[in-house]
Amino acid sequence: MSDCPNKERNLKNCNCSYPGCSKKGICCECIRSHLLRREVPACFFDKKAEATYDRSIDYFISTYKNG
């Protein structure tokens, strides 16, 4: 779905630093992909947590419990 009408606008707020991600800026595809793997997308994390590339739900919860 590279023809997303909001892709350029979404990219301005996308904090995903994973190299080669084909879903950057295509939020619906990103969310669907992560949910299928029981994960949450990068935009749910602060910069430090996002840099770990750990997208697990458990890690997401731990960032709020400890933060």
Q: Is residue 1 part of a domain?
A: no
Q: Is residue 19 part of a domain?
A: yes
Q: Where in the sequence is the domain holding 30, given as residue range(s)?
A: 7-65
Reported as a single tens digit per residue, the pLDDT across 6-32 is 999 999 999 999 988 999 999 999 999
Q: Is residue 33 part of a domain?
A: yes
Q: Is residue 16 part of a domain?
A: yes
CA 56 to CA 25: how far, in whole Å? 20
Q: Is residue 58 part of a domain?
A: yes
Q: Is residue 2 part of a domain?
A: no
Q: Is residue 26 part of a domain?
A: yes
Instruction: Please state the separation of Cα 25 from the chain's center in Å.
Output: 10
Question: pTM for this one?
Answer: 0.83
Domain count, the chain: 1
Which two structure tokens, joined as six digits, stand for 33? 């992909």
